[in-house]
Each structure stands twice: as structure tokens, then as C-alpha cells.
Chains A and B, each alone.
Chain A
């Protein structure tokens, strides 16, 4: 293989981890050489950076390969590009990228040639590939979906918007997602070329307390659902006296309709690992686990590769960048269970047991994995930490809401024109995300509700869409931010039926450890089935509310206490729909058995 940015530039480079690592190794990749002066070594870097951008021969085709693009045929597009290159005999590099989160453009490719504007092509068919690439290379970009910047040299260039001119791109604030869809997720080199690992470099120059203070001032709160201040967790683990501590990154992403964690890892696994190393340095942990969801094979594969590369260049292992601090990471994949995402259940599973939540206290910060102090953070939280340390807390804290800094990657799906993942400041209104970014409902369709936060989040009526996406503001309306999910529900869907489907989920995922949840979710489902079949009575609504309160208060973990939220929030905002089922024996959306000749749900 040819020289990469991660390699020594010449024999004068003495970086030799772990015995003799150079503390300036990362900065030296782009700005170097830093310990000696050589125009050759400088040129080597410049040439390689140029190659990463435009390929070895000045032309590069990037194919977006992530679960989502693969689900709609990106593999065939990739083969078609390779085939085109082989057949045409052109000197073109073919590379992969992760995804931008603009899922409505899947499958997509990007073509770049020196001197022409880099162009993104949307919804590409394998059959079109040769036409697209040939016409681009002939200097015509008119068929592109967007270009990255203008050069004034291509035909049709001014008819095509730049990414920044597109509202759904411009209105995002991409901090943790800044590399997604831009870098090759299997090349640490491209991550470093875009400033990756500078956060770690800054962190180890400071004391752990100084880093914790930065995280505090940045107002970072956990993105896994509960919104717990990250600095408190880190400090608690740091203050524990123990020779063994752990950092666990939670990439279970078990909430149905959440896909932003998967997108982040598949597109930029490096930033999660960088965040973990920083967390390890701050808390005094030497070992990390990344707990990956059962279906996330591609994410796990890319993480493993990123871990291997980090080891190879001395960013993991002993004496990281000469700091004396050692850290290593292992990837663990779930065997499939929703409770596995709960922070103590997840530890049980790593220990080889059923993923049922543990009694708390003690909390993981004092007795976690194998009984040792453990930080459990969501992967996006860790990525934010890396951004904060790299860029400084002050800018970060100005983005977002008063009590909660920064951005959130939001998974938007359902009845919208542009489903995808959008990164926005915390506190951005739901309306801005649904209408401005995701394009609102398709022509002729009206939205009735927004499901916010996933199964334990709740339903908001469309009239409340001005609410800011913020932990505290949403709670005031009886819904929760959860893992940043927005599902647009149009008027042709039955709210009661959707709530029933959520309850089916809870019944099947309840781990059975405590009675309120195990029995309560079944009873609530029974009642919902009854209502949907036209056998519900007026008293059923009160019964649901009573049961809901019991579950909220008496459940052992947040699965049970969250399970009634969809029910309670819809009885609050969509009472009429329940009543129509009960009194008029009619489903307003015409989907429930009561309105059709279907007998009963299997249950």
C-alpha cells in the first residue's frame, strides 16, 4: 500500500507507540512535520491530503454505503460504479462514505474531479451510473441533486443548488454529524485529516478536573433519553477509588423508530471512540466496551475496524500519545432485547446474563461492570464530549437551550417528504424540524399528531408543534424527549391503534422481573384491544389511566414507567378518538376491527 497520512513521513520521525510515542503525532499529521523541517515531508502530506479529496488520479466516485442506503439498493450501485470504471478504463478511484442523514436521496453517490464542483447525485439506479459519471466528467453537472461548492467551470452549475443553499442542510448545525457522509468510515486517515483526535490531544494536556469543568460549562446532557448531566456522572466515577474502572458506550438504540445512533456509528465510528478515550482519561478507566444493537452488524464491523486502526497508531493501547494513560476498547453485540439498552441490564448482558435491570442504588458509577465504577453513556453523548473538548465549551454552550447545550441528532420518519436524521440545536421547535427540514407531509395529506421520543415518549397533537425540542419543555406537555425521535402521523392513522401497537411492543419486551410492568402492560393491552374491537366501555378510559399511574409509580425500571406514556398522552390530547371507538363503535380512521369485519387481534 502507498504511504498514508498515518505513517511516518521519513526516518527522522521517532513516533513509535507504545514504547516511545510522540505526543505531537496527531497535530503532525496535517501540519507537520513538527520535529524536523523538510519540504519533502511537507509535500508528502499535501499530496496525500489532495489524494484523499480527489483520488490518486484527480477523479473520485464516492458511494454512500450505510444500512439505509443498502436497504434501497446501494450495493448494486457500488458494483455498477466499479464496473463502469473497469469498462471505461478511466483512472478513477472508487471509495465509500457513510450517510448524510438525507435518506430521501438514497441511494446516492458523489463524483469529484479537480477543477469541477463536487456533485451529489440522488436516487441513483445502477443503470444510470455510467451516464451520470460520463456526463459529469465531460463537465456537465446539470443532473446533480446538489453540488458542494461552485467553481464556475461546469455546465448547468448555476441551475443546481449548493448543499448550503438547501434549507434542510443550511438549517442544521452539524457538530457531531459533521463527518457523516463526508469521510470514509473505514479510514481513520480521513477522520484525522478533518481534525479528528484533536479533542483527545487537548484533553490529555489538561487535568481530568479541567475537562470535567469544560463538560459542565458546555451544559452537556446525556442523549440516551434521561438527559442526565454528563459531568456529574464523570466526576462521580473519577472520585471513586478503584484500580479498575470502565467506560461503556451505549449503542443499543432499541427505541423503535430511532436510527440516528446507527447512522452516526456507520458514518463516523471514530468520534465515538475518541469520546470514549477522553471519558476514560477523565475518569481513570482503562477499559471500554461499546454495546451495539443486535441488528447493527455493519455498525459493529466499522467500530471494530476503527478500534483496530486506533490501536495500530497508538491512539488506543498503552501510553496513549505519551500521556502515560492506557486505554483499550472492545465491541460487544446484543443478542436482541429492548431492556438491553437500560444501563444496568446492559452490564448484566456483558457479564453473560439475562439483560434484566439491576436494583439501583448502587448506581453503575459506584458499582457497575463486574462491580467496578462504570460510566455508561450513549454514543452520541460521547461524540458530543469529543466535540466540546476539541472546540472548547464556550461556543458549544451558546448553541442549544438554556439548561442544555449543543445539538441533537433527530430521527424523523412517518408522513413527511424528507425522512432522515437532522442535527439541530436543542430547543429547535418540532415544527421547524417537521416542516422546515423534513418537508412536512406529502401533498394533500394533513398531520394529526407527532409521536415524540419513541415508545416512552408520547403523542403531541399537530397544534402543539411549536414546542421546542427540549427535555424540560416537552415534559411540561406530558411527553419526553427520549432518544430524539419524531414520527409524523397523518390523519388517516388511528391514534388508538398506534397506542395499542406500542403496548404490543411493551408486552413483548417487558423482562418480567416486576409485577406492575409484567401484568400491567398486558392488562392495558387487553383494554386497548377491547376498545379497538368496539367492546370498550366508558370506564375503560379511567381504568387505563389508573393502571397507567400504577405503572408509572411502581415499576422497577423506566420501561414499565414509560409504557403508559403513549396511552396517557393520547387520552389527554385525543380523548375524542377513544370515545368514538367506545360510544359510536366506529374507528374514525377506519383501520380498527370495530370498523371492519375483522374479529379480534391475536393478542
Chain B
């Protein structure tokens, strides 16, 4: 676990009941929950490692694998589904060069996943971007043109911040 991670963790409290909270914190600070971090959490909260792992793999916003800087969530709730978000999903994966069965682009800048509803259904189809700083952007009335613009902006920002290798 990183120093920043363990510092944040202390703030969440150190009892078993803080497990979900602790995992969310590590996910946020380190981008994913690595086996080392999971082990550290297990130790500090006095929870079996297997339990930490089982909780970490249960929730959609936690990931035990490393993800892209930007995580793009494409809504496949019924309203977005009928408004064409499957096409948007396909489009995103193809422009980002993400193959079927994979989720993260080879430059590790983008991860594309499905989500069940972003509760902005009146502006379907909807896509959300989880930014590296923990904030979220919601993009309504999405189509390839809108998404192309969004990707360009995110790429530009990544260059400015030096996130690209």
C-alpha cells in the first residue's frame, strides 16, 4: 500500500465494520485494490484476507485489477439501451482499441465498463466518466460525435498532467 493510501485509511477507522469504507478509500487513492493493499487492510482491520478479497470483488466500484486513469461507465439500463447506448459502447471500445472481453486501453488511459443506470435517464443515452481525482462527469444525449469530443478533451488533459507514458 502507498503511503498516501495508509494515511487515508487511518482516517476511516480501523475496525472490521470499516471494511467497505476502507476499500473505497484505497480504490480512490490508489486506483485499485492490489493484493498487497488488501493484505494490509486485512491486517489493520483484523479481518481475514479471504473476507477482504470477497468484499473487494463483490462491489462494482471496487477493482482488484489496475484500471485506466479515466473510467468510462456506459449505462445499459433499459432507457439507455433503447436510446442506443450499445452502439455508443461499441464505438468507444473501437476508437479506444479495446478488444472484446477486455476493458482497458493499451495505453492504460481508459477503462470502459457497463453500468446499470446513472439516474439521468431523461437524457439517455448517458455515459459517466470517473476522473482520476475522484470526481465524476455525466454526459447525457451521448452519440459518437459527443463521445469523440469527450475523448479528445480527456486525452488533452492527460497530456497536460503527464499521465501518458
Q: Which residues of A contact B (CB under 8 A)?
A: 67-68, 70-72, 103-104, 106, 253-259, 261-262, 293-297, 333-338, 349-355, 411-415, 419-420, 451, 455, 487, 489, 493, 498, 501-502, 504-505, 508-509, 511, 602
Mark B72-88 against chain A: 1 for CB-CB distance below 8 A, else 0: 01001111011000000
- In the assembled complex, which residues on chain A have CB atoms less than 8 Å from the CB atom of B20? 335, 349-350, 352-353
Query: In the complex, what's the smallest C-beta–C-beta distance from B43 to chain A, in angstroms?
Result: 15
Contact B19 A352 (CB under 8 A): yes
A295 to B116, CA, bound (A): 11
Q: Does B60 contact A (CB under 8 A)?
A: yes
Contact A67 B119 (CB under 8 A): yes
Contact B55 A354 (CB under 8 A): yes
Q: Does B115 contact A (CB under 8 A)?
A: yes
Which residues, 89 to 138 on B, are CB-close (under 8 Å) to A? 100, 115-124, 126, 128, 135-136, 138
Contact B17 A257 (CB under 8 A): no
Given the interface pairs A335-B61, A338-B116, A602-B100, the reply to whether A353 lies near B121 with Cβ below 8 Å is no
Query: In the complex, what's the smallest C-beta–C-beta distance from B11 to chain A, in angstroms?
Result: 15
Which chain B residue lies CB-closest to A451?
B78
Given the interface pairs A335-B62, A352-B20, the reply to whether A296 lies near B119 with Cβ below 8 Å is yes
Mark B42-61 against chain A: 1 for CB-CB distance below 8 A, else 0: 00000100000011001111
A480 to B21, CA, bound (A): 34
Which chain A residue lies CB-closest to B136?
A297
Question: Residue A257 contacts which of B77, B123, B138 (CB distance < 8 angstroms)?
Answer: B77
Given the interface pairs A335-B60, A352-B17, A489-B82, the reply to whether A293 lies near B119 with Cβ below 8 Å is yes
Contact A413 B59 (CB under 8 A): no
A451 to B124, CA, bound (A): 16
Contact B100 A104 (CB under 8 A): no
Q: Which residues of B contact A (CB under 8 A)?
A: 15-21, 23-24, 47, 54-55, 58-62, 73, 76-79, 81-82, 100, 115-124, 126, 128, 135-136, 138-141
8 A-B pairs (CB sep. < 8 Å): A68-B123, A68-B140, A71-B126, A254-B116, A295-B73, A334-B59, A352-B19, A455-B78
Contact A256 B62 (CB under 8 A): no
Question: Residue B136 contacts which of A255, A295, A337 (CB distance < 8 angstroms)?
Answer: A295
A106 to B54, CA, bound (A): 41
Given the interface pairs A68-B140, A295-B115, A295-B128, the reply to whether A106 lies near B123 with Cβ below 8 Å is yes
Given A71-B120, A259-B120, 10 new contacts (CB under 8 A): A67-B118, A71-B140, A293-B119, A335-B60, A336-B61, A350-B17, A352-B21, A354-B55, A487-B82, A504-B76
Given the interface pairs A336-B60, A502-B78, the reply to whether A420 lies near B122 with Cβ below 8 Å is yes
Which chain B residue lies CB-closest to A489?
B82
- In the assembled complex, which residues on chain A have CB atoms less than 8 Å from the CB atom of B119? 67, 253, 258-259, 261-262, 293, 295-296
Question: Residue B116 contacts which of A71, A353, A509 (CB distance < 8 angstroms)?
Answer: A509
Given the interface pairs A337-B58, A505-B116, the reply to whether A259 lies near B24 with Cβ below 8 Å is no
Question: Residue A103 contacts which of B47, B122, B128 (CB distance < 8 angstroms)?
Answer: B122
Contact A295 B118 (CB under 8 A): yes
A414 to B17, CA, bound (A): 41
Contact A413 B58 (CB under 8 A): no
Which chain B residue lies CB-closest to A255?
B117
How many interface contacts (CB-CB < 8 Å) are there between A and B? Answer: 134
Contact B61 A257 (CB under 8 A): no
Given the interface pairs A352-B18, A352-B20, A353-B55, the reply to whether A256 lies near B122 with Cβ below 8 Å is no
Which chain B residue lies CB-closest to A297?
B136
Question: Residue A413 contacts which of B24, B79, B115, B141 (CB distance < 8 angstroms)?
Answer: B79
- In the assembled complex, which residues on chain A have CB atoms less than 8 Å from the CB atom of B78? 256-257, 451, 455, 487, 498, 501-502
Given the interface pairs A294-B61, A335-B20, A352-B19, the reply to whether A413 lies near B121 with Cβ below 8 Å is yes
Contact A68 B77 (CB under 8 A): no
Contact B121 A72 (CB under 8 A): no
A70 to B123, CA, bound (A): 10
Given the interface pairs A68-B122, A104-B122, A335-B62, the reply to whether A351 lies near B17 with Cβ below 8 Å is yes
- In the assembled complex, which residues on chain A have CB atoms less than 8 Å from the CB atom of B58? 337, 354-355, 511
Question: Residue A336 contacts which of B59, B135, B136 (CB distance < 8 angstroms)?
Answer: B59
Query: In the complex, what's the smallest C-beta–C-beta distance from B95 to chain A, in angstroms?
Result: 19
Query: In the complex, what's the smallest C-beta–C-beta distance from B88 to chain A, in angstroms?
Result: 14
Query: In the complex, what's the smallest C-beta–C-beta distance from A382 to chain B, in angstroms?
Result: 18
A337 to B58, CA, bound (A): 8
A509 to B16, CA, bound (A): 25
Which chain B residue lies CB-closest to A103?
B122
Contact A259 B122 (CB under 8 A): yes
A126 to B21, CA, bound (A): 39
Which chain A residue lies CB-closest to B100?
A602
- In the assembled complex, which residues on chain B have CB atoms less than 8 Å from the CB atom of A258? 117, 119, 121
Which chain B residue lies CB-closest to A438?
B122
Contact A72 B124 (CB under 8 A): no
A184 to B82, CA, bound (A): 34
- In the assembled complex, which residues on chain B have CB atoms less than 8 Å from the CB atom of A353? 19-20, 55
- In the assembled complex, which residues on chain A have CB atoms less than 8 Å from the CB atom of B54? 354
